[in-house]
Chain A
């Protein structure tokens, strides 16, 4: 299979969704995953370490200029936008909030779409905000695969519903089935 990266956006309800995802994904999951979770600006990033300490996966805060490597899960640091450069490295910025959010899902998704094009999977999960809608549109325009959490099964339905209204998603599924699908895609790749 062709996919080189997965980007995921979460807002309210995101913590329990991530915990579930990280407990199911196998240790050898290959495709790199990049995540924006809306979080309080003064949070110090300790929660990312906490997630890593309680998982088999390699979960870390994305560093500026860091090269995106298979087998890693990267999370945007609080109070910075996370962008992906053409050379598949990260940039961080302190630009204005987008959709009241920094980090913003749209910012990650738009720059990821331009870099990975049809080799990107974009996923919008639980949230009470419309961040991610423009970004997932962008991912579709560049030929990527769009997956949205079935709003009825999301802790907060607004964000996935907003994304659903904007595009024709490739998959609309409950979280457990999204995870199963990702595992299947990743195994086909190997």
Chain B
């Protein structure tokens, strides 16, 4: 009950809308922030959010999930190469939308896959998120050595064609992704909950974002995706996400059931 008042306050004051997110999830994140900040009750955190802008943005960071990896679910990327790349090859120009890109790992993964398939030069990747701090980090394309080990393994599991280290330059404890991977990525602030269609695209990837939304919001965002795809365009969801409860299910055919890859019917 009280959490919903807090979310209402965040929306009214800052325009970020978490009112249709999973309540159990939001509850955990808010309580964690309260524990870290020594706040004991919800009404107290609500007034702090309204008075203290810095604290409010801290809470926004807490509510924005930036957990991601390069080539997360290698089987998914194998399926992309097998089932989706041949479709993309039929277009003279390709537009791809990574919705909810967080710190950019999936957009870089896509850029690598497209380079290997000789498609990157005719592609524009729109990588969007509502979290500007995450977008700024994505733009830099700097990742810690610690995670690169894991990404390298994922890259090998998805049967990448080169050595993964050829895609970045090492520097001390981090790596910088090659400039050639960044050149066709457009990083943009877009909020799936409150913003609308901004382009017609051939491929949308939105993986493990919709699981945070309630049914109504899922349906609304599915509609946004449907309206953003060209006929024959491809939609990729997370491994536990589906179109089952969406009214749009029959408007897609299934390209890969297990990897949740769907094709919009003409």
**Residue total for B at the interface (Cβ-Cβ under 8 A):** 17
* Contact partner, A91, options B29, B67, B211, B245, Cβ 8 Å: B211
Among A77, A94, A96, A114, residue most surrounded by chain B Cβ atoms (within 10 Å): A94
**Is B212 engaged at the interface, CB distance under 8 Å to the other chain?**
yes
A93 near B27: Cβ-Cβ < 8 Å: no
User: Which residues on the B side are within 8 Å of A83 (C-beta)?
Assistant: 22, 24-25, 28
User: Which residues on the A side are within 8 Å of B22 (C-beta)?
Assistant: 83, 85, 91, 93
**Is B65 engaged at the interface, CB distance under 8 Å to the other chain?**
yes
In the assembled complex, the CB of B78 is this many whole angstroms from the nearest CB of chain A, namely 13
**Known interface pairs A65-B215, A77-B240; A86-B23 also in contact (CB < 8 Å):** yes
In the assembled complex, the CB of A87 is this many whole angstroms from the nearest CB of chain B, namely 9
A111 to B28, CA, bound (A): 8
A111 near B24: Cβ-Cβ < 8 Å: yes
**Is A64 engaged at the interface, CB distance under 8 Å to the other chain?**
yes
**Is B208 engaged at the interface, CB distance under 8 Å to the other chain?**
yes
Encode A74-97 as 1/0 by CB contact (under 8 A) with B: 000100100111100001111110
B240 near A93: Cβ-Cβ < 8 Å: no
**Is A150 engaged at the interface, CB distance under 8 Å to the other chain?**
no
**Is A131 engaged at the interface, CB distance under 8 Å to the other chain?**
no
The interface size bin for chain A is 20 to 34
A94 to B208, CA, bound (A): 7
Q: Which residue of A lies closest to B75 (CB)?
A: A44
Encode A20-64 as 1/0 by CB contact (under 8 A) with B: 000000000000000000000000000000000000000000011
**Known interface pairs A65-B215, A93-B65, A94-B208; A110-B28 also in contact (CB < 8 Å):** yes
B25 near A114: Cβ-Cβ < 8 Å: no
B25 near A64: Cβ-Cβ < 8 Å: no
User: Which residues on the B side are within 8 Å of A77 (C-beta)?
Assistant: 240
A96 to B25, CA, bound (A): 12
A86 near B24: Cβ-Cβ < 8 Å: yes
**Is A107 engaged at the interface, CB distance under 8 Å to the other chain?**
yes
Q: Which residue of B lies closest to A64 (CB)?
A: B211
A82 to B240, CA, bound (A): 12
**Is B241 engaged at the interface, CB distance under 8 Å to the other chain?**
yes
In the assembled complex, the CB of B66 is this many whole angstroms from the nearest CB of chain A, namely 9
User: Which residues on the A side are within 8 Å of B27 (C-beta)?
Assistant: 111, 114
B245 near A65: Cβ-Cβ < 8 Å: yes
Q: Which residue of B lies closest to A107 (CB)?
A: B28
User: Which residues on the A side are within 8 Å of B240 (C-beta)?
Assistant: 63-64, 77, 80, 92
Q: Which residue of B lies closest to A110 (CB)?
A: B28
User: Which residues on the B side are within 8 Å of A64 (C-beta)?
Assistant: 211, 240-241
- Enumerate chain B interface residues (CB-CB to A < 8 A): 22-25, 27-29, 65, 67, 208, 211-212, 215, 238, 240-241, 245
Return 12 A-B CB contacts under 8 Å, by A number.
A80-B240, A83-B25, A85-B22, A86-B23, A91-B212, A92-B211, A93-B22, A94-B65, A94-B211, A107-B28, A111-B27, A115-B24
- Enumerate chain A interface residues (CB-CB to B < 8 A): 63-65, 77, 80, 83-86, 91-96, 107, 110-111, 114-115
New A-B contacts (20) at CB < 8 Å, excluding given A64-B240, A95-B67: A64-B211, A77-B240, A83-B22, A83-B25, A86-B23, A91-B22, A91-B212, A93-B22, A93-B65, A93-B211, A94-B65, A94-B208, A94-B238, A95-B25, A96-B67, A107-B28, A111-B27, A114-B24, A114-B27, A115-B24
Q: Please list the 4 inter-chain residue pairs (A to B) with the smallest Cβ-Cβ separation, ordered nearest first.
A: A83-B24, A91-B22, A111-B24, A94-B208
